[in-house]
Amino acid sequence: MQSLRNDFKFMNGNILVLTVTRVLGMFCRSMVFPYASLYILALGGEPAQIGFVNSLRPLAGLIMFPIAGYISDRAGRVKLIALGGYLSGFALLLYVLAPSWEVIALAGLLQGFVVFQFPPTSAIIADSLSPQNRGKGIATMNTLSGALAMFSPYLAGAVLDVHGENAGMRLLYGVLMVALLLSATINLRFLQETSTHSTEKLSLSSLPGAFKSAYGGIPAMLRQLPRSLKALAVVIALGFTSNAIASSFWVVYAKEQLGLGTKEWGLILLIDMLLRSLLNIPSGMIVDRYGRTRFILASLLLALVATPLFVFSSSFIQVLLVRAVIAVANAFFTPACSALMADTVPRAMRGRVMAAIGRGSVILGAATGGGTGGPGMGFLITLPVMLGSIAGGYLYGRDPASPWFFALGATAISVLLAALYLRDPKQAEI
């Protein structure tokens, strides 16, 4: 028992607080995101409108990500994290009250501005975990936050069966709004600052200079990145772009082309998340012990085989098997990729670098509309994601199978990049 406590002694302070708020947020987001595309259709949208709506949320990241990274490295992380949570929660009122898909588009654009909370969150996690515990720590956070969330898609599917896709989604968005506001309050109250420049004061009058420094420093910052990290950034960008094209249409394809119901799709996602949760901690330990790069490559190879097989599925069991393989790939890919990012980026510039390319936590074969953004994405990935979201709607409208064949090509390129260029650093950054 003492040995077990020693193995998980990192689960305190900031990591414990963020895990608690993740549990709450993930449970509610996992009810909403898998069915967000159906809500747009219920409000009169078409597949092209699904892609358009999803393209708007990342737009604000072009403005907010660089300045968030700059400020979080100089004026602290905690207040930015809490402010983003409050604003995101209040923005969800538009989803609850939306009379048409156009209002959903506006809400998505407004919510995009709260991405300034993600770089400081990524930085505070990296700051609060030692290099030898990063894979295990990230995996443990993912496991605990997903433990309840694995039931969310099935519960939400049951809600939609009872209340319909219009009223049911309004109810689910309302629950998510309450959860985000509560999480923001917990973060503000209990998180401890980790920025080494936390005493620096930034006022509204200093924002123009901060913008100039943030954007002006991007070329120099990118030149400092090692080749391995640049290759990882491309792998991450390809993963997010693939998700932008396909993620919102997994549930639509399952319903329209395969004839699965919302409860059946929810059950598939439940088993997907259960498998990931069971594997997360063991995979994190394995990644810490045997290195990051080899498991990134192995995960990409699994995704390369499994993801396009979805369109050839013809039954519940076949779809379930496809998602099970993808779940195994993600169980190793997420802690390996996130740990490699933290190992490679110096502590003093983590906020800026992670604002640019994300924390490395892209989901392979994301099957929900939430797979196109979030804390894993940086501003350099925003334009590809926006274009991918728009293209996804038109591609699905022309040929429902085409988004997954694009994902096949993007994953093949990622496999090549990982094999040629990704390497674990000889000395991990603290």
The per-residue pLDDT for range 220-279, each reduced to its tens digit, is 777 877 888 889 889 998 998 999 899 889 988 998 899 898 889 989 988 998 898 888
Give me the amino acid identity at 311: V
For 53, the domain range is: 10-193+215-421
Q: Provide the H-helix boundaries in 291-381.
A: 293-306, 316-344, 350-357
205 falls within a domain: no
**Res 103: pLDDT:** 92
What mean pLDDT, rounded, does the chain reach? 83
Question: Model confidence at 196, in pLDDT bands (50, 70, 90)?
Answer: low
57 falls within a domain: yes
312 falls within a domain: yes
The full length of the chain comes to: 430
Residue 113: half-sphere exposure toward Cβ, Cα within 13 Å: 11
302 falls within a domain: yes
Domain count, the chain: 1
Collapsing DSSP to helix, strand or coil, 213 comes out as helix
In contact, 328 and 300? CB cutoff 8 Å: no
Would you say residue 218 has pLDDT above 80? no
Distance CA 288, CA 74 (A): 30
Q: How many other CB atoms sit within 10 Å of the CB of residue 420?
A: 10
- The least confident of 173-177, 272-276, 377-381 is 377-381
- Residue 259 φ/ψ, nearest 5 degrees: 75, 20
Chain-centroid distance, C-alpha 324:
19
Would you say residue 361 has pLDDT above 80? no
CA distances from 111 to 50, 61, 88, 93 (A): 16, 10, 6, 11
Q: How many other CB atoms sit within 10 Å of the CB of residue 399?
A: 10
210 falls within a domain: no
**Res 70: pLDDT:** 66
Tell me the average pLDDT across 150-178: 91
Could you tell me which residue, 147 or 182, shows the higher pLDDT?
Answer: 182
56 falls within a domain: yes
206 falls within a domain: no
Would you say residue 371 has pLDDT above 60? no
Q: Residue 174 sits in a domain of what CATH number? A: 1.20.1250.20
Tell me the average pLDDT across 99-126: 84
Give percent of the chain with pLDDT exceeding 90: 30
Question: Model confidence at 404, in pLDDT bands (50, 70, 90)?
Answer: very high
Per-residue model confidence as pLDDT tens digits over 55-109: 887 777 677 766 766 666 666 678 888 888 999 999 899 999 999 999 999 988 8
